[in-house]
Amino acid sequence: MSRVLIAGLVMSMLVLACGQQEPGEAEPARLPEPDHVASPGAENLIPRELLFGNPEKVGPQVSPDGEQIAYIAPADGVLNLWVMDRDGGNVRQLTFDDNRGVVDYFWAEDDTHILYMQDQAGEEDTHVYRLDVETMEVTDLTPWDGVKAFVSATDEHQPNTVLVEMNRNDPMFFDVYSCDLVTGELTMLQENPGQDENGDIIVGYANDEQLNVRMYVGIDPMTGDLSYWVRDTPEDTWRLLMSATALDQVGPRQFSEDGAAVYMTSDLEANTTQLYLVDLATGGQTWIAGDSLSDVGGISWDPFTGEPRAVSYNYLRRRVEVLDERLQEEYDFLVGFHDGEFAPVSRDRADSTWIVLYSTIDNPAEYYVYDRTSGEMEFLFTAIPALEQYEMADMEPLLIESRDGLQLPSYLTLPKAGEPPYPTILLVHGGPWARDYYGYDPFCQLFADRGFAVLKVNFRGSGGFGKSFLNAGNKEWGAAMQDDLTDAVQWAIDEGMADPERIVILGGSYGGYAVLAGVAFTPDLYCCGVDFFGPSNLVTFRETVPPYWRPMDAMFDIRVGSLTEDREMLEERSPLNYVENITVPMFIVQGANDPRVVKAESDQVVAALREQGNEVLYAVYENEGHGFMMEPNRLDFAARTEEFLYLSVPGVECEMFAPVEGATVHLE
């Protein structure tokens, strides 16, 4: 129920296959010396800066009164907040950040302030900032070092109040505060005691539409089972509403307007999550919507009744189900107005003005202002207009069958030139309980333009495809989850699409782990690997996660493996313990301040590889965490990755590499 804008890079890479060798059978791989700094056809390539640089404008939000539109745009290479009148006039820069930029923001209900969350160096200790749109005065509402804070709720009927959650009292647990926007005063509404009377760990609270804390979720520290507790008023005692096992996916989405019920998504009665209205007095559930292939995704709510009016699902492509028949004609109009997938991303208080986003393979975002009264659509701006000068590669959704019969939703991007079999990159998503989607992807476009085919695979354990698919990945890191990736590569080879001698594996976070696992456990399959922010040892990874992940230890025991009961398995699944198998060129990337996968995870595998004699390119980015926020670092990373692949994979193109001014990188 919190407002969250995910910012950063999602990356993908290609997998190169070489003939299998027993450990110690051959000399470790060496990076070849460059014959030239760019490929012969480099002048015709899509510029890397267009794909990985800052967008021109992005993220528009209309003010509640409908009079102004805020948006994100760069100033001196750093993303900042800007505002303009509804008609496009009176453009003004609002923030003047010169560090990591401002990307996570929204209008307060008072029409006067904008609230945004920002950390300082990638450590994810976000502060909540109040920005006065008229005076441009910025106030840090949570000015404590080492504290993570975020805004979780607002209410248009209480425009001067927002709910803020932060872990100031205990780094493991978030308390709920009411914040007076006028004075900045914080008042504790709900302290998280850590555990409830039953011994369950309290992992989160939910509020109703009047900003009363009405629900908490507890997790059994031994079994991971979940319980959902509610109360009618903040003065009442908590009572159990419903329970779920650790293998189920159940969660609150929004309270009804009258506070008598809560909308929840649940897979207790189906394989995929369905949307229900749950009566708080009786626990009775009314089914509203659901899909047999994919979980409930985004929900559009009626701002006046609080009822859901549209639900999205995404199996291979996004599908929207309109629940309010009064909106069907408008949604039909929006579908036909422009190519690509659309979503209303902002509205005014009257619900008469929408900002509508269209996303295509060719461009991540094109925005229009939709006047619901007149039915007119007015172009606002495009995120990266210069991409229109270039031909983008198509992406094909497809299903790949695993060795044990699972259907793996996947996406294939082919180069515009050349003939199969192609050099191929297996781009592995992070999470791992996240997923890949159809749509614009800068890595797919970069590498397809350079001559690679790019394959993205939703392996078992990926989220969004129902609990059977999700739970099939439990304790399968480096095992069946990795087998799915191997099977997808083999499918591409068998289809004649992928050249088995030129397959690259590339990925970040869990995808980075999969890269290390791929080159360690299937050393015959890949010719090189690019790992960014990936754990190398599952034991040390679990021992060093952020403190606010600790309440979910029981869930990690189930999904990854227990540090006590499964320690031997975790060691066996850790690529660090099999570095003697890795003989291909490796590029390893780390954020110096990453709180999720700490720098030691990369340090230890780089040291072990070098001790084996493997030449490893190791880039550490200061002022970054679990991803890239700073444009110079994104550009430097993309350039080094492109050069690394050009030197490691025959027959591909490359734009000239040059050090990026302002990048905070050092090679270790």
Which residues participate in catalysis according to the annotation? 509, 594, 626
Q: Is the C-alpha dihedral spanning 563, 510, 228, 548 positive or negative?
A: positive
Helix, strand or coil, per DSSP, at residue 494? helix
Residue 305, Cα to own-chain centre: how many angstroms?
Answer: 31
Burial of 167 (0-12, 13-18, 19+ CB in 10 A): buried
Which residues, including other chains, have CB under 8 Å from residue 74's CB and lie 6 or more apart?
Answer: 54, 55, 56, 80, 631
Phi, psi of 642 (to 5 degrees): -60, -45
Helix, strand or coil, per DSSP, at residue 580? helix
DSSP string across 164-224: EEEEEEETTEEEEEEEETTT--EEEEE---SB-TTS-EEEEEEE-TTS-EEEEEEE-TTT-
Q: How many CB atoms lie within 10 A of CB 133?
A: 19
Q: Is the C-alpha dihedral spanning 580, 583, 584, 587 positive or negative?
A: positive
Report CA Rg, the chain: 25
| Token pair 């990337």 in the structure block, residue | 589
Ramachandran bin of 73, using left for φ above 0, alpha for ψ from -120 to 50, beta for the remaining angles: beta
> Do residues 392 and 384 touch, judged by C-beta distance below 8 A?
no
> How far is it, in rounded angstroms, from Cα 178 to Cα 189?
6
* Token duo for residue 203: 């992992």
Phi, psi of 317 (to 5 degrees): -135, 160
Which residues, including other chains, have CB under 8 Å from residue 221's CB and lie 6 or more apart?
Answer: 199, 200, 201, 553, 554
- b/e map of 647-661 (b: 16 or more CB within 10 Å)? bbbeebbbbebeebe
Phi, psi of 97 (to 5 degrees): -70, 140
* Token duo for residue 539: 């034991």
Phi, psi of 337 (to 5 degrees): -75, -35
> Do residues 424 and 502 touch, judged by C-beta distance below 8 A?
yes
- The H or E element that residue 468 is part of is helix 467-471
Closest listed residue to residue 50, CA positions, set 635, 644, 451, 637: 635
Which residues, including other chains, have CB under 8 Å from residue 580's CB and lie 6 or more apart?
Answer: 23, 24, 612
> Do residues 56 and 382 touch, judged by C-beta distance below 8 A?
yes
